[in-house]
Amino acid sequence: MALQVLPINSIFGAEISNIDLAQPATAETREQLNKLFAEHAVLVFRNQYLEPAQFVETGRIFGELMEQQVKQFILPDHPLVGINSTRDLPRKNGKLQVRGENYHTDHSNYLEPPKATSLLAVEIPSYGGDTQFVDVRKAYDDLSDNMKKKIATLRSKHIYESSRSPRSFAKLTAEEHAAIPNVIQPIVIKHPISARPALYMNTGRMEGIEGMEPEDGFALIDQLYKHATQSKYEYRHQWRVGDLVIWDNRSVMHQANADYDPEEYRYLYRIMLKGQQLEPAFT
């Protein structure tokens, strides 16, 4: 059975059908999926009602799994599988405090940030809770030549929680916190496979720009962030039960939405794939 590939929009993303991820993938299919992933950056598979172990095997098509950072949100029998459940979320004034609101790339404060993250929808509320993606390769391409020159070799320190973070992060145990590094990342990275330049941003974790006054650094981050998160760079995924979505953290940013009824149940499995140290696009 040949895979069917339906591009999601003219920039990025593809819906892949004619595949049952509960079955082991052939070497040929694995190769094809990896090629599609490198090109489209977000792959959507519908109607995949996988057990956690099958979800792990699907992740292995694309790379090696990495451990989940926050140990309180994992499946006890499958520690590589994180859980994203409304029942675990704190509330403030009746509103759920959803992890991942505001655009970001996962664990950008790691020396080797995850190459990919994948979610599998187990229970979905009747409305809301979409995940949005923006293509930061295309956003980079569209910058003016002046801006490209200005940011070509700039770098930013990424820490667990920026002093200007628009969102708050899960509180960690002292042990978890001690294990989390701070790292200097390029603002423009070179994709490890395609070599395409891309903006590498995470306003929750970026602590200014190296060599710039804090106000100037944060102002530039805001400017780039506003540019990169325009709706023309966006794909908004409306979840259905059985959806498996995998995205490339070096090519897109993503954000969660807390716009669903907090009394309804929303439950997804999450896995992450090991990445590598990021190289600047320009030196």
Binding site for Fe ion (CB under 5 A): 100, 106
Shorter beta-carbon distance to Fe ion: residue 116 or 124 = 116
- Measured between alpha carbons, how far is 136 from 225 in angstroms, rounded to an integer? 10
Sign of CA dihedral 13, 231, 201, 198: positive
Shortest Cβ distance from residue 172 to Fe ion (Å)?
16
- Single-letter residue type at 70: V
- Measured between alpha carbons, how far is 242 from 231 in angstroms, rounded to an integer? 26
Shorter beta-carbon distance to Fe ion: residue 99 or 190 = 99
Shortest Cβ distance from residue 99 to Fe ion (Å)?
7
- How big is the CA angle at 253 (ends 250 and 256), to the nearest 5 degrees? 140
Shortest Cβ distance from residue 245 to Fe ion (Å)?
12
Beta strands in 91-195 (DSSP E): 91-92, 95-96, 116-123, 131-135, 155-158, 183-186, 188-190
Shorter beta-carbon distance to Fe ion: residue 100 or 129 = 100
Shorter beta-carbon distance to Fe ion: residue 100 or 275 = 100
Given a contact cutoff of 8 angstroms between Cβ atoms, the answer to whether 48 and 243 are in contact is yes
Shortest Cβ distance from residue 9 to Fe ion (Å)?
21
Nearest-CB residue for Fe ion: 100
Shorter beta-carbon distance to Fe ion: residue 100 or 208 = 100
Shortest Cβ distance from residue 281 to Fe ion (Å)?
23
- Measured between alpha carbons, how far is 32 from 43 in angstroms, rounded to an integer? 12
